[in-house]
Structure 1
Amino acid sequence: MKTKESQENYLETILILQKRKGNVRSIDIANELDFSRPSVSRAIKLIKEKGYITVDESGLIKLTEEGKEVAGAVYEKHVTLGKFLITLGVEEKIAMEDACRMEHVISTDSFEKIKAHAKKCMEK
């Protein structure tokens, strides 16, 4: 299923927060992204309707299997591209900001080639 960049950012953020905190609520996402609570609530509703997350009666947000898949793929691109740019000499802050934008537009084929090349470079 194709996702929009903003949805991918939310899913990636949920994944990161789950790793960091365990439980995730809308307020955690709002704080992490520095977004308003109403904006996050609207986004969460849309992402839930697409089947990427569940929200229980206490407000805990969990990624579904499909949500984990999308979030994991976006996160892998972010980390890999960021590290690769750093090895090229890009300042870490800029590298991670660029990786955040690149992760949404790079094709799977191009990413896999970059990932393989980056792995070879980092092994040396």
Structure 2
Amino acid sequence: MTHEYDEPVSPQQFDAAVQRTRRLILTQGSVPLHALAERAVIETFCSCVTGASDAVEGKLSTIHAVLIEEVVRQVQAATADRPAPAGPSDTVDVASDESFPASDPPAWIWRRGTTRDDGTAA
């Protein structure tokens, strides 16, 4: 078994960071990809790679920036392999779209103490 200090940057960690970024995209799609990849890198890679290097350079270190860019590149490559869905794929969304006019509630609501058009109490 390897220790994170023996191999602080590995293909498995890249895969984990890419998968983490893709999960973040699903939950936080409005956030830019670069920011999501940056978060995934911090959460995935050992701080001995990212935090220590950042501290030494006094800013986002070169190695940290390269890790983020590589994760972004891999996420974009994985996304480019899959075609975007043409429309709603969830059966509930499809049914909802197809029943749109019928699913809208009426614009009026009867209230207590009001009368209907036929003169009876509501």
TM-score normalised to the size of structure 2? 0.30
Q: Say which structure is richer in helix.
A: 1
